[in-house]
Each structure stands twice: as C-alpha cells, then as structure tokens.
Amino acid sequence: MSVFGEVALAAPVAVFKLSQDFNNDQFPNKVNLGVGAYRTDEGKPWVLPVVKKVEKVIVHDDSLNHEYLPILGLPEFRSSASKIALGEDSPAIQENRVGAVQCLGGTGALKMGAEFLRRFYNGNNNTKTPVYVSSPTWENHNAVFANAGFDDVRPYKYWDAANRGLDLAGFLGDLESCPAHSIFVLHACAHNPTGTDPTQEQWQLIAEVMMRRQLFVFFDSAYQGFASGNLDKDAWAVRYFVSMGFEMFCAQSFSKNFGLYNERVGNLTIVARDADNLKRVLSQMEKIVRTTWSNPPSQGARIVAVTLTSPELFSQWKDNVKTMANRVLLMRAQLKAKLQALGTAGTWDHITEQIGMFSFTGLNPKQVEYMVKERHIYLMASGRINMCGLTSKNIDYVAESIHETVTNVH
C-alpha cells in the first residue's frame, strides 16, 4: 500500500504539451507558433549579444563568487530593474517609496506579490478578496493567485471577440461593479494572449475608476521594450498609474527582453505611500521569501545589473531589444500583407494592430485543430500564435495554411 496510491495523473500544462507534440512531429515543414520565446529568422533561440558579452566578463572575473544573495536579492539588480519600469527620474523613486524584491522570473514576482496581498491586503488573511484577471489572460495567472490562497479569482471583460479588440465598456463596467478593494491584474503592455493593449486615453479611464473605487493595481510587465521596441513607451501605463498616486505592485520579467528565460530573472517593484510603509512591507516580504526559496539565484540578476548600470552595455541592450521587436513587427506586416494578397476572408488588420509577441488570430478551436493536425502548424487552442515562430522561410506556408483553414473549416 502506498501513501500516494490515490495521487491522480495530472493533465500536462497545455503550452508545454504543444511543444512536446511539435517536437515529436516528423513533418518537414512543421511550424511551432506555441511557446512564447523569441526566435531569429532562422527559427533559432537568440542569446542577446550583450548577454554573451557580460557572461564572458562574469566567468572571467575571479573576484566574483557564488555566495548567497540577500533574501530580497541583489541590490543593484533590484534598484536598476525598478528604474527600468518606473523611469530614471521617477518622483516615487526620489521620494524613497519604491522598493523591490528580486524573484524567480515574472511568475515568482507575481507569486510573492500574491502571497503578500493574501496576508496583508484588505485586512489580514482575507482570502475572500476577489482577484480579477483579464478574460483571456496568461493561463498561469489563475493558478498563481489561487495557490497563494485567494478563493475568488475571477475574469474581467477584456477581449471583444466579435470586433477583435478591447471590450472597454465591459472592462470599465467590471471595474465599476466589482467589490471594493478588489485586486486587478493588469498587463503593462503586449497583452498575453491577445496582443491588444488599451490606448493611453483608455488607460486614463481605467485608472480613474480604479482610484475612485479603491481597487488594487497589480501590473504584470513581461514584455517591456519587446512590445514597441521602446522601453519608455512600453512603460507608459505603469508610470501613469504611479503618477496618479497609486500604491501598487509591478511584477517584472526579464525572460523575454533579456532573453534570460532559464535564469529566472524577475523583480517585484513595490510603490508605497512612503518610506516607512515600504520598509515594513519589505520586512514582511523577506519572511515570505525565506520560506519559499530563501534567497534568489545569482547569475541572471548579475547579468541584468551589470548591463543596466553600464551606459555602454545599456545602450547595446536597447539595440538588441529593438532588433527583436523589429523582427516581430516585420513578421506582422508581412503576414497581414500575404493574407490580404491571398484574399483570405475576414479582416486582418488586427495582426498589425496587436502588439508584442502574440497575436490572437481569431481562429476557432476547429480551425486550430485543422492547422495542427493537417498543416502541422502548432498554435494554442485559443488561436494565439507566437509571431516569433514566423520566419521569412515559413511565412508563406503559414499564410497559405491560414487561408486554406479559414476557407474550408468553419
């Protein structure tokens, strides 16, 4: 008799299963438009040149060792990462009311923020506080907050499938009608999976309601720089909310914009009312970190800190980021052009209007299944494609496949 005799086989995480199926597929022209990782035009992973450079420096620096980082992480990483999100001249930083926790990727930052909120927000251990995530959203958002102990994780209206755009009225409606003090997870830019972001005017309307109804702002910023190619532009919403006086969290990931996926580099930026509140918050964050991973991994944070604090390396990094963003923009433009040239039914403006790594094609589940099974093009059941999976070599095949699918499968 085993203690674990009753343990059921859990379903695999969809996005990883997709990659697995892709890997097992023998079709020569198969295309992987699943997992959100950048690919070059040769369809290969890309280690940023600036990262290679910095890693070389690190490996040859005998003065560096592998000692424990402080519980909250590498100080230079935390402060430079927060500056990236909030801006070099952020008044909040100057007022000493911005702090940060180095975490394991964006996921880890969301996790730490969620654990803190569950314990200390809206009363103590108020597991009933609703947490709103966009409909749709990154599939792990639900699990992060549920596992942190929140009983009530709900969707807020976001994607308007009929019009393939933002359902602003629905979004604002949910903001107006939700219980006071609800927590809202907002995508800072390059919404995953829809690629549809509010405009600046729309963000202002969202902020106004959130301020008036005292809702908690929790930004998820996984694509800063990657969306438009410009760091400041991609941080506009976050900075606007800070300027409006919100106390808020911003979970930052450096997986995509630094290509440091497997080093798990993330930062939870905390904007508090003042230094005293910040200090107490950070002291409690330490306790949460200590029972989860004790202290964060060193390598990735070092790479980012060295890069961000050197004007020359920082400049190179921005170029590398632009390279990635520009390739994505090019693929968007070309895909739309080809679909239009093929005369594919429907409008395809959303391909270039959407932003970031992902595009919500609008393909329905049956069409997605056809794409996968018949055309060996792997995309998520939601119709989400990773633009980085497109290359100059496969874009014709993908465009033709979408055309065929839309034409024949309904």
Partner 1 sequence: MALLKSNKVIYCLGNISPSLGVLSTRNSSWWGGVQMGPPDPILGVSEAFKKDSNPKKMNLGVGAYRDDQGKPFVLSCVRKAEAIISSKQMDKEYLGIGGLGEFTKSCAQLAFGNDAEVLKSGRHITVQTISGTGSLRIGGNFLSRFHGGPRDVYLPKPSWGNHTPIFKDAGMQLKGYRYYDPSTCGFDFTGALDDISKIPEQSVIMLHACAHNPTGVDPRPEQWKEISDIVKKRNLLVFFDMAYQGFASGDIDRDAWAVRYFVEQGHNILLSQSFAKNMGLYGERVGGFTVVCKDAEEAKRVESQLKILIRPIYSNPPMNGARIAATILNTPDLYSVWLGEVKEMAERIIRMREELTAGLKKEGSSKNWQHVIDQIGMFCFTGLKPEQVERLTKEFSVYMTKDGRISMAGVTSGNVGYLAQGIHAVTK
Site for partner 1 in 106-165 (CB under 8 A): 107-108, 111, 120-121, 124, 140, 143-144, 146-148
DSSP secondary structure code for residue 221 in this structure? E
Residue 126 CA to residue 138 CA, distance in Å, equals 24
Q: Given the complex with partner 1, which of 277 and 309 has the nearer CB atom? A: 277
Min separation Cβ 325 and partner 1, Å: 18
Q: Which residue shows structure tokens 């993330």?
A: 266
Candidates 285-293, 313-321, 336-344, 346-354; binding stretch for partner 1 (CB under 8 A):
285-293
Q: Given the complex with partner 1, which of 306 and 406 has the nearer CB atom? A: 306
The answer to the question of residue 294 lying near partner 1 (CB under 8 A) is yes
Out of 23, 163, 284, 392, the residue judged to bind partner 1 by CB under 8 A: 284
Query: By the 8 A CB rule, do 192 and 157 touch?
Result: no
Amino acid residing at 377:
I
Secondary structure in 3-state letters for 343-400: CCCCCCHHHHHCCCCEEECCCCHHHHHHHHHHHCEECCCCCEEEHHHCCCCCHHHHHH
Task: Give the three-state DSSP class for 311.
Answer: helix
Q: Given the complex with partner 1, which of 150 and 158 has the nearer CB atom? A: 150
Candidates 161-169, 260-268, 328-336, 360-368; binding stretch for partner 1 (CB under 8 A):
260-268
The answer to the question of residue 219 lying near partner 1 (CB under 8 A) is no
Catalytic residue among 30, 83, 111, 256: 256
The answer to the question of residue 68 lying near partner 1 (CB under 8 A) is yes
Out of 17, 52, 366, 393, the residue judged to bind partner 1 by CB under 8 A: 52
Residue 360 CA to residue 192 CA, distance in Å, equals 9
Give the CA dihedral 188, 79, 259, 351, nearest 10 degrees.
20
Out of 292, 309, 310, 334, the residue judged to bind partner 1 by CB under 8 A: 292
Out of 300, 356, 383, 389, the residue judged to bind partner 1 by CB under 8 A: 300
Residue 256 annotated as catalytic: yes
Residue 293 annotated as catalytic: no
Out of 160, 240, 337, 342, the residue judged to bind partner 1 by CB under 8 A: 240
Cα of 320 vs its chain's centroid, Å: 19
Min separation Cβ 260 and partner 1, Å: 6
Min separation Cβ 191 and partner 1, Å: 19
Residue 220 annotated as catalytic: yes
Out of 126, 230, 277, 309, the residue judged to bind partner 1 by CB under 8 A: 277
**Cβ contacts of residue 186 below 8 Å, gap of 6+?**
134, 206, 217, 218, 219, 220, 237
Min separation Cβ 106 and partner 1, Å: 8
Q: Given the complex with partner 1, which of 185 and 339 has the nearer CB atom? A: 185
Q: Given the complex with partner 1, which of 87 and 225 has the nearer CB atom? A: 87
Task: Give the three-state DSSP class for 288.
Answer: helix
The answer to the question of residue 169 lying near partner 1 (CB under 8 A) is no
Rounded (5°) CA angle 272-173-237: 40
Rounded (5°) CA angle 142-144-145: 70
Residue 254 CA to residue 252 CA, distance in Å, equals 7
Out of 69, 185, 231, 351, the residue judged to bind partner 1 by CB under 8 A: 69
Out of 31, 263, 269, 385, the residue judged to bind partner 1 by CB under 8 A: 263
The answer to the question of residue 243 lying near partner 1 (CB under 8 A) is yes
Q: Given the complex with partner 1, which of 108 and 195 has the nearer CB atom? A: 108
10-19, Cβ contacts within 8 angstroms, sequence gap of 24 or more? 13/139, 14/139, 14/380, 14/381, 15/139, 15/380, 18/378, 18/379, 18/380, 19/378
Query: By the 8 A CB rule, do 325 and 112 touch?
Result: no
Out of 151, 176, 208, 349, the residue judged to bind partner 1 by CB under 8 A: 208
How many other C-beta atoms lie within 10 A of the C-beta of residue 291? 8
Could you list the active site residues?
Answer: 138, 220, 256
